Chains A and B, each alone.
Chain A
Amino acid sequence: MKSISDLKISISGIRGIVGKSFTPRLILDFTQAFSTYVGKGKIAVASDSRPTRDMVKHAVFSGLIATGNTPVDLGILPIPSFQVYVKYSRANGGIDITASHNPVEWNALKLVLKGGRFPFSFEAEEIIDIYQQGTFRKENTFPKKVYEEDAFEYHRKRLLSFADLDVIKEKKIKVVVESCNGAASPYVEEFLKKLGCDIIVINNDVNSPFPHSPEPLPENLKQLSDAVKKYGADIGFAQDADADRLAVVDEKGEPIGEEYTLALGILSYLRYKKISPIVVNLSTSRIIEDIGKEFNVKVFRSKIGEINVVEEMLTYDSFIGGEGNGGIIAKDVHLCRDSFTGMVLILELLAKTGKKVSELKSSFNQYFIKKEKIKVSLRQSLLIMEELKEKYKNEKLDFKDGIRIEAGEFWALIRPSNTEPVIRVFIEGKDKEHVESLFKEISDEIKRLRR
């Protein structure tokens, strides 16, 4: 098989490598397709801190003006703040220039519709259809772009009214935060000060390169851990480049793992905000089920992908949810993954329980979770999935997204990636050895079928 193109056109927008597929012509066309789709009005434009942001942004402006829409330039902005802005400024939609946790050579256009949400899959398909037809609305009004001075304002206001300010302020929690020199950098220090935190910021300069891969995984948190230990902080927070995901380091400098970010956030919400069904995706740890039991609320599992979680939160009238990758969603602030919401919830939990982060983590059941990918060509991947369905047909299966096997102490999720030629395998259980042996069984089966 030939190598797969770096260009990814998907439900969440269009993504590629600058210098390869992600060219001005591509950006112009895709922007025009989106702009044609959303109708006429104001379209918000923001970016994360990637060094390619200005090149991309100018092409986006041009594409919007060509289709008769007014670009509103918000500068560098976290994606949750961007979504909140689109909603409350009554913009007709938005394009955020961010490749999220992908390495620096990547960039992407993330599309946001009126009301500040990502497109549902049918909407994304319509936009992609317009893009592929290549016929866009043509206008000769050429609206002038406008600049927004403080685009974070709407988000800030919502967060501050969401937080139990007095209680958090009183505790003067000592926090180290690192924003990966990403989109949250200009805002996070000022925001945490408003929560009365004693704050130390690291990697907080949008004009510096990413200090490490911008995905908030434990292996990328070394600097944060060291800083937490050095300053004797109560907690360390790491935001990814577009500030939707949050990772946490405990007071000893130990990363607690992204699954626990979500668990702490949901625990705090159910205990101190209100009771609500929970929605998480299929690959999220079952710690969430334990929390659901504790509060006697239902846990619904959606397909992988932020918009799918959001869609099910709407369906089940849920106020709290998220993804096990550190993406907490609280509807009170906005229906999107939001590291700021995550920080508020976790700080509130610390303030109100008076407990340490490590203590809170150890109060949950401890599971072992394994996430691996196995190389499989695109052509083979669907056939292999069919074979696996047959093989495990006697287990309790769920086909919502790939195959999810529920087997007593364990669950496993097997799904082909739509961004790489791989099949992803997630397994979680109480016993590490058991998880390893189950993983070996599944991966051996995939490798056998692959031949």
Chain B
Amino acid sequence: MNNLRVSSSGIRGIVPDGLNINIASDFASAFSTYMGEGKRIGVAIDGRKSGFLLSDAVISSLSATGSNVVFYKVLPTPILQYLIKNRKVDAGISITGGHNPSNWNALLLLDEAGFYLNSIESNEVFNIYHSKEFNKVGWQRLGKIEYNNIDLKDYIKKISELVNFDIIRKRKFKIVFDLSNGAVSSVIGEIARHFKIEAIFLNDKTEGYFAHNPEPNPETSSQVSSILKNFSFDGGFVFNSDGSRVSIVDEKGEAFSEEYTLSIVSKAYLLKKKTPIITTVSTSKMIDFVAKEYEVSIFRTKVGQSQVTHTMEARESFLGGEGSGSVCVRDFSNGYDSILSFLLILEYMAEKDLSLSEIRKEIPEFFLLKYKVPVAPGKMYGAINHLKEVFKGEKIDLTDGILVERKTGWFNVRVSTTEFILRVIIEAEDKEKAFKIKDELDEKLWGIL
């Protein structure tokens, strides 16, 4: 099986069987050729074992193709996106497996504004990648390589202008953080100090060993939960490897579905500024209630940071995100920023003087069922097409895979852009109804997979 996955978010795979140093070298060369000579490209890794393996190949290739390199070592992708937006560097490559298991890694490409490349841009990069016609420069024009230890002052200053700095500090939060052995480990200490948060940090070593999959959800929140159940804290947050996603655990140790993150952050942000919300077809309907509460419109795109953030720009939205625990606030940066997300949640708690469990109650509860169906690469789209045929009489939406809307609930089945799986999300009034839909889907997919 081919362990390499390409998508508009970049190139991703198991190292070295799928993603290896030759591919990383060519892909970085293609991106550098696409950007044009003489740009400064920021490079970050997320603390996986294969990080330096790939960053060394990437740095060499960027330099050889005439791009200057600023290597930040371990740094969250959102901070790299912030640095690009604020012109510290011209573009970026974040080497991160995001929420994938530890043997995966990926090269994510960030454009001049810190966005994930859109599909047209990334097509062009792939054309260059496949043609192998890379820019070659002589020794005088070789890109310079700088090693930069990130200075967080500016980032923290800007974030403190967006969230209510004083109110958070005054509340003297006590929080448990689970960094999933990822990039947020490198910055969270300074941020916590700045906001006077009394903190416990779990899994904050970036040695490449993961205590659990770096995918924020109730399953991976168990360590945080067990602390919160036994000790008195205000809550907990679980991050993914590159700091693009975060999920919430309340003060009683109850782990929220990652779908809550977008809704709660949106409640916090919409207090400050009204803006249409951009999300995906695969995100819980909770967000529709938040939109209704604040009287803002909602628009749903295909799944993926590239889709959501570029649509935000096109539709002049400042708030967007996905049910995976990802939120972008575009007046801050053009990427999903989990650090900004958790600070907005703290601000909302302080402002409204509410606990996390009380905030959860403000949002109507549905039963959500999310699962993956492993599938051979060649059969993924066939399965979706089959379902389109099966459900064609119902109310369907084909923005991404197939979405079927019914009175008692809805479901979406789509091809993952990052793994060889179908992602299924079912949301219904109660558990029984959700599982009834699952049984129906299992039956329809049986035999064709």
Contacts and interface: CB of A to CB of B under 8 A. Distances in A.
| A and B pair up | yes
Interface in A11-38: 17-20, 23-25, 27-29
B278 to A, nearest CB: 38
A58 B59 contact: yes
A8 interface: no
A152 B103 CA distance: 38
A167 interface: no
B136 A24 contact: no
Q: Which interface residue of B21, B22, B143, B208 has the most chain A CB atoms within 10 A? A: B21
B369 interface: no
Contacts of A55: 59-60, 63-64, 142-143, 145
A19 B63 CA distance: 11
Nearest to B138: A19
Interface in B141-170: 141-143, 145
Nearest to A57: B60
A62 B21 contact: yes
Given A51-B142, A52-B139, A66-B20, A24 B52 contact: no
B139 A51 contact: yes
Given A19-B136, A23-B64, A54-B145, A140 B56 contact: no
Contacts of A450: none
Contacts of B25: 24-25, 28, 59, 62
Interface of B: 15-16, 20-22, 24-26, 29, 49-50, 52-54, 56-57, 59-61, 63-64, 103, 136-143, 145, 208
Contacts of B26: 25
A222 interface: no
Interface string A119-146: 0000000000000000000111110110
Interface in A52-72: 52, 54-59, 61-63, 65-66
A24 B58 CA distance: 9
A105 interface: yes
A56 B60 contact: yes
B142 A62 contact: no
A52 B60 CA distance: 10
A56 B29 CA distance: 14
A104 interface: yes
Given A58-B59, A63-B21, A65-B56, A140 B139 contact: no
B96 to A, nearest CB: 15
Contacts of B53: 62, 65-66, 142
Contacts of B59: 55, 58
B33 to A, nearest CB: 13
Contacts, number: 97
A58 B103 contact: no
Q: Which interface residue of B49, B52, B137, B139 has the most chain A CB atoms within 10 A? A: B139
A18 B29 CA distance: 15
A57 to B, nearest CB: 8
Given A19-B139, A58-B145, A62-B53, A25 B22 contact: yes
A63 B59 CA distance: 13
B52 A28 contact: no
A105 B16 CA distance: 32
A265 B281 CA distance: 80
Contacts of A141: 49
9 contacts: A18-B64, A28-B21, A54-B63, A58-B56, A62-B53, A140-B15, A142-B49, A142-B50, A142-B208
A104 B21 contact: no
Nearest to A18: B139
Contacts of A59: 25, 56-57, 60-61
Nearest to A51: B139
A224 to B, nearest CB: 25
B136 A23 contact: yes
Q: Which interface residue of A20, A23, A27, A51 has the most chain B CB atoms within 10 A? A: A23
B112 to A, nearest CB: 23
Q: Which interface residue of A24, A29, A55, A56 has the most chain B CB atoms within 10 A? A: A24
A58 B63 CA distance: 10
A104 B141 CA distance: 13
A138 B3 CA distance: 15
B367 to A, nearest CB: 40
Given A23-B64, A61-B52, A142-B49, A28 B57 contact: yes
Nearest to B63: A55
A183 B24 CA distance: 31
A142 B55 CA distance: 12
B261 to A, nearest CB: 32
A237 B270 CA distance: 73
B70 to A, nearest CB: 13
Nearest to B28: A24
Contacts of A140: 15-16, 49-50, 103
A78 to B, nearest CB: 21
Contact of A18 (B22, B50, B138): B138
Interface in A374-432: none
Given A24-B57, A52-B139, A62-B53, 14 more contacts: A18-B64, A18-B142, A20-B138, A25-B25, A54-B145, A55-B60, A55-B143, A55-B145, A56-B60, A59-B61, A61-B52, A62-B24, A140-B15, A140-B49
Given A28-B25, A58-B57, A145 B52 contact: yes
B64 A24 contact: yes
Contacts of A20: 136, 138
A277 B323 CA distance: 79
A140 B18 CA distance: 12
Contacts of A54: 63, 145
Interface string A35-55: 000000000000000111011
Contacts of B136: 19-20, 23
A138 B53 CA distance: 12
B60 A62 contact: yes
Contacts of A51: 139-140, 142
A105 B141 CA distance: 11
B420 to A, nearest CB: 19
A411 B137 CA distance: 45
A20 B29 CA distance: 14
Contact of A144 (B52, B57, B140, B145): B52
A298 to B, nearest CB: 45
A3 B353 CA distance: 78
Contacts of A145: 52
A24 B137 contact: no
B228 to A, nearest CB: 34
